[in-house]
Amino acid sequence: MSNIFLKRDDHSSFSWENLGDIKEGRGDLGEEMPVLVYRLMQYTMLDVLSKAHGREQANEFFRQAGFLAGTEFAHNVLDLKVGFESFVANLQNCLQTLKIGILRMEAFNPDTGEIVLTVGQDLDCSGLPVTNENVCNYDEGFIAGILKAYTGRQYDVREVDCWANGDRVCRFRGVAVS
């Protein structure tokens, strides 16, 4: 028996348009779903990737996926032509409206590009049990992708505080890479 999914090769490269018309396709159910469902997908995928490639490589895959998502999100949802303060305000509004998290800018050095921000009530980890580890690798990539799309500079973003590490917000430090 032939598998129709194996015949399609257009899913191998991400395109914003491939997300489809969610309003049309989910007319009765709507655009929202419980965080539980998102985390079920995220953490089972991380488990499978970790078993196949090791934990560090799986985390790197999540960073790369987050980077792609952040880049596409920025280009398709955010206004990249406004000043920095307007950009941050727009980003804060979008992340809260989409229920991704509550963003707060703690520090930004315009000369070096270094940035520190927090995300409260983070979609990926707020409410997780404390495991003494930072788990928001996808978010690291997502933020790096957004920053690259806005500034044109490559960023290395790392989580320095995480709910799963006993903190109550996720704090990220981004450094512009030369």
Overall average pLDDT of the 117-135 stretch: 96
AA letter at 95: L
AA letter at 134: N
Overall average pLDDT of the 25-40 stretch: 95
pLDDT at residue 118, rounded to an integer: 98
Which helix (H) or strand (E) covers residue 43, if one does?
helix 35-53
How many angstroms separate the CA atoms of 120 and 103, rounded? 7
| Phi, psi of 138, rounded to the nearest 5 degrees | -60, -45
Q: What is the token pair recorded at 22?
A: 């969610």
How many angstroms separate the CA atoms of 137 and 42, rounded? 11
* pLDDT value at 11 more than 70: no
3-state DSSP call for residue 132?
coil
Quote the distance between the C-alpha of residue 91 and its chain's center.
13
Mean pLDDT of the chain: 93
Q: Is residue 6 part of a domain?
A: no
Other CB atoms closer than 10 Å to residue 136's CB: what's the count? 30
Q: Is residue 5 part of a domain?
A: no
Q: Is residue 3 part of a domain?
A: no
Query: Structurally, how many domains does the chain consist of?
Result: 1
29: left (phi over 0), alpha (psi -120 to 50) or beta: alpha
Question: pTM for the complete prediction?
Answer: 0.92
Q: Is residue 150 part of a domain?
A: yes
Q: Is residue 2 part of a domain?
A: no
Print the domain residue range for 86: 12-176
Q: Is residue 117 part of a domain?
A: yes
How many angstroms separate the CA atoms of 25 and 1, rounded? 28
Whole-angstrom distance between the N-terminal and C-terminal Cα of the chain? Answer: 52
3-state DSSP call for residue 155?
strand
CATH number for the domain that contains residue 82 = 3.30.1380.20
Beta strands in 85-167 (DSSP E): 102-108, 115-120, 155-161
Express each pLDDT in 43-97 by its tens digit: 999 999 999 999 999 999 999 999 999 999 999 999 999 999 999 999 999 999 9
15 Cβ neighbours under 8 A, 6+ residues apart = none
* pLDDT value at 1 more than 80: no
Q: Is residue 147 part of a domain?
A: yes
The fraction of the chain above a pLDDT of 70, given in percent, is: 93
